[in-house]
Structure 1
Amino acid sequence: MSTDLSPVAADLQDERLINNQGLAATATAFWHRLKGGELGSLPVVFGLLMICTVFYMQEPRFLSSFNLVSMLQFAAPVGIIALGIVLVLLLGEIDLSVGSVSGFAAACMAVLVVDHGQSMLVGLLAGIGVGALIGVAYAFLYTKIGVPSFVFSLAGLLAFQGGLLYVLGTNGTVNLPDDSFLVNFARFDFVPESVSYALVVLIVAAYAVTHLVSRRRRTAAGLSNSWLPVVIAKAALMLVGLLWLTWYLNIDRGWGYLWVLFAALVVGLDLLLRKTRWGRYIFAVGGNEEAARRTGIKVTRVYLSVFVGCSTLAALGGLMMAGNLTTVSQSSGTTDTNLTAIAAAVIGGTSLFGGRGSAYSAMLGIIVLQSIQSGLNMLNVDSSVRFMVTGAVLLLAIAIDSVSRKARTSSGRG
């Protein structure tokens, strides 16, 4: 009688967790995660496929390269703002003022550049600085005075909307120079075709190397690893998919620098959240603040970094939106920017209950919302219907989050 004496990974010592490598074992583990409420991005990806299918059947131009490029360009600024919302939602908090902050920062930049003759660099730094200072003020109100985030951000929504009107003055509108760096970057500049293909190869190579290094470290630490063919298959699918999408977008204008900036911010924030101590602290505080405090985490610093990050991203999104529209007006950031940014983060998969979410939630969510808006506009549907559809999608996302949360609790996953 033979006995298997091969070592078992340290995190699989419990006989209930032992899992063999292979396709069947990988599929079984995936199924158990789904049953346990670990849905990940599956609902939003499935929903996006359904949306694209329905609109394409009604209007084939919906999936044209021209429309896809336009969708990405208009989605990027609000997507950057939604990234900040992801951060505060991970802590179980909310910021209702991101739209007003984005408009106020853009107004400060535009007035400095156009009315006071400052360089675009100075204007951009001033706008981003305004956002950072607002985040510091929010953190002080929350950690030192104890004002709930809902209250001070609601006050900020009104205050910075007033600040926007005050900064713009009687003119009410400031047009940015068409030849300025910001306008060219956010509206007219696109990645050259040859460079775009090289970027795709570099991105996939970085993905593969990162996972291989992670596997080596886990093996050295005596921990289990995902099945290597799965990692290879994911990298191959990513390479083929991105190369095809890049070719298709290059039929029109290709990847805009604005979207590339947004994607870089998403990837960078995702790495910070998953691979750094700061990211682990955010999830810990969002999961259980008191437990995090008792383990020695500087909770106040975590809140400070998150509120500053949220407001700074809101300001950056407002600046990019101003460049994309080539103007700053009294309506900048004050229409449905707040609700769209918050809805994008939630629809993309970030939990309202804190402690669960991903930077990619902002990207997926804003693509879903932009797809709905673009498709309904192509069908000449009234804007009232768009708001109702967006509200229904948001409610569905929250319902899925609640159901999956209950499933995680009942399965012991928390």
Structure 2
Amino acid sequence: MNAVLAKQKPEGETGALSGLAGGYLDRIRGGDMGSLPAVTALVALCLFFWAAQPSFMTQGNFANLFTQGAAGIVIAMGLVFVLLLGEIDLSAGFTSGVCAAVLAVALTEQGWPWYSAVAVSLLTGMVIGLALGLVVVRIGIPSFVVTLAAFLALQGVALKIMDNGTNISIQDPTVLAIANDNVPVVLGWALCAAAVLGYAAAQLGRHRGRVRRGLAAESPVVIGLRIAGVALLLAALVFVLSMERGRNPAFASLKGMPIVVPLVAVLLVVWTFVLKRTSFGRHIYAVGGNQEAARRAGIDVNRIRIAAFVLCSTMAAVGGLIAASRANSVDPNTGGSDVLLKAVGAAVIGGTSLFGGRGRMIDAVLGGMVIAVIDNGMGLMGYSAGTKFIVTGLVLLLAAGVDALSRKRTLPGR
């Protein structure tokens, strides 16, 4: 008996690593692809564009990728909540536009301070999400129809707010700094160190908690490698963004990570914690996996569904704020055009299932970066907007296909 147990026990570091690799491969075979397709696509696209256009990997363009994709990533984060429920919000793009218009009017025409204007903009997003959620849940109209109607109506609301097409310039330095200024280099490294220490504390705390309760826990070697990998990735990111990228440093120095990077990182950490470590997050997954079973388990399904729409529209308001800051103005096209399609595409390409019940907040970031890389790289290579749309559409179709095939493999009898 002892000999059998000895054979089953992993032998040192090699056993721990082989067990981790084996478990990961088993999850892939079972249909749980996780972030693998998005990460693979991101690496492959970066290498391709780097080889085709060396300027793609310059410090300036690398920093531009983050500011270019930030608004779409934030809107996609909100969409993850409704997609996890198997719902959809087609109005998220124009919700961001309406909230940006409210922000611009409050700042310029009403003369409000930036914090009051930002607060009323976020409140507008919450109200829109609450209205959508109530109509979907209380009346029972499918979210596709409700949010499609809102997609059309909110365009009109934006036009009314901006006096039928007036472009409103934003002059407030605090709002403009969000997407146009950079964090000081020293502060960037301090934030990097804090992020690594926080991640290490979370991993070690989780490990100690599982050991204390007598549950199966990962090997300390695996945890150490995971922490080292995150530290290396973040350090490399901060190092590149801390390099001088100004064309004339003696006249105007340009270095440090863009402010939107820590902003997106904070949102990622907060919403990841909410989804993975709170009862609300567990209820989101439960309702998305099986709504009737969740109801019988005592979960207030209607409250969860309404809350998801409120969070989605609130994050759309944050995305509108970032877009307005980057453009230095707001016009009727803010939040329109391909904003919604790219945001939905970001969540799906990153790995969030369209069928509900499966997805993570990091999916929005990875998928958003894939779309930003395609848009940026093809722009540098001189391709037209039409070609960009075709390639992005094919990537989205491929991601949805992977999602559908993965779901089939997880269903019994398949």
Shared fold, TM over 0.5: yes
2:120 paired with 1:135: no
SS in 1 for 2:411: helix
Indicate the residue corresponding to 1:184 in structure 2. 177
Shift of 1:377: 0.5
Residue 303 (structure 1) shift: 0.9
Number of the residue aligned with 1:29: 23
**CA positional deviation for 1:2:** 4.4
Q: How does 1:97-112 map to 2 (within 5 A)?
A: 97-112=91-106
Asked if 1 retains the 8 angstrom alpha-carbon contact of 2:16 and 2:222, the reply is no
> Are the equivalent residues in 2 in contact too, given 1:19–1:25 (CA < 8 A)?
no
* Partner SS, residue 22 of structure 1: helix
* Aligned 8 A contact 2:73 2:346 in 1: yes
What is the Cα deviation at residue 44 of structure 1? Answer: 0.7
Q: Deviations over 1:3-62 (max 9, x none)?
A: 6789xxxxxxxxxxx774522222222221111112111111011111011111110110
Asked whether 1:240 is paired with 2:232, we answer: yes
Whole-Å Cα distance in 1 between the matches of residues 93 and 139 of structure 2? 24
Measure the CA separation in 2 of the matches of 1:283 and 1:171: 41
Q: Which moved more, 1:78-87 or 1:163-172?
A: 163-172
57-66 or 285-294, which deviates more: 57-66
Aligned mate of 1:269, from 257, 262, 271:
271
Task: Tell whether 2:289 aligns with 1:287.
Answer: yes
Question: Within 1, Cα distance between the matches of 2:334 and 2:242?
Answer: 31
Residue 10 (structure 1) aligns with: none
Deviation of residue 150 (structure 1)? 0.3
Shift of residue 207, structure 1, vs aligned partner: 1.1
| Match for residue 333 of structure 1 among 330, 335, 350 | 335
1:195 and 2:187 matched: yes
Instruction: State the one-letter code of the partner of 2:235.
Output: L
Residue 9 of structure 1: aligned partner: none
Normalised to the residue count of structure 1, the TM-score between the two structures is 0.93
Query: C-alpha distance in 2, partners of 1:73/1:298?
Result: 38
Aligned residue for 1:380? 382
Q: Which of 113, 132, 138 does residue 144 from structure 1 map onto?
A: 138
- CA change 1:381–1:403 in 2 (3 A) is same
Query: 2: distance between equivalents of 1:214 and 1:234?
Result: 13
Within a 5 Å distance, the mapping from 1:7-406 to structure 2 comes to 20=10, 22-170=16-164, 172-177=166-171, 179-188=172-181, 190-251=182-243, 252=245, 253-406=255-408
In the aligned structure 1, how far is the partner of 2:168 from the partner of 2:16?
61
Contact 1:109 1:123 in 2 (8 A): yes
State the Cα deviation string for residues 40-95 of structure 1 (Å, max 9, x = none): 11111011111011111110110111001011012111111110111100000000
5+ residue gaps, structure 1, are: 7-17
For 1:194 and 1:394, how far apart are their aligned partners in 2? 38
Match of 2:251 in 1: none
Q: Provide the alpha-carbon RMSD of the alignment.
A: 1.7
The worse-fitting range, judged by mean Cα deviation, of 379-388 and 237-246 is 237-246
Could you tell me how far apart the structure 1 residues matched to 2:339 and 2:107 are? 24
The amino acid of 1:133's aligned partner reads: V
TM-score (norm 2): 0.93
Q: What are the superposed Cα offsets for residues 310-353 of structure 1, whole Å, 9 maximum, x if unpaired? A: 00000111011101111001111111101011000000100000
* Separation in 2, partners of 1:174, 1:128: 19
Secondary structure class of the residue paired with 1:352: coil
Aligned counterparts of 2:265 and 2:70: Cα–Cα separation in 1: 9
Contact 1:73 1:256 in 2 (8 A): yes
Alignment partners' CA distance in 2, 1:89 and 1:254: 35
Contact 1:204 1:239 in 2 (8 A): yes
Distance 1:56 1:3, change over 3 A: closer
Judged with a 3 Å threshold, the aligned counterparts in structure 2 of structure 1 residues 286 and 186 are, in CA distance, closer, same or farther, namely same
Unaligned regions of 5+ residues in structure 2, if any? 246-254
C-alpha distance in structure 2 between counterparts of 1:40 and 1:227, whole Å? 21
Shift of 1:410: 4.7
CA contact (8 A) 1:113 1:120 kept: yes
Please give the per-residue CA displacement for 1:95-146, whole angstroms capped at 9, x wherever unaligned.
0001111001111111121112222222111111110001111111011100
Deviations 1:245-278 (A, max 9, x none): 2111111333111121111101110111001100
Query: Do the aligned partners of 2:346 and 2:368 also contact (CA within 8 Å) in 1?
Result: yes
Residue identity matched to 1:391: G
Describe the SS at the equivalent of 2:168. strand
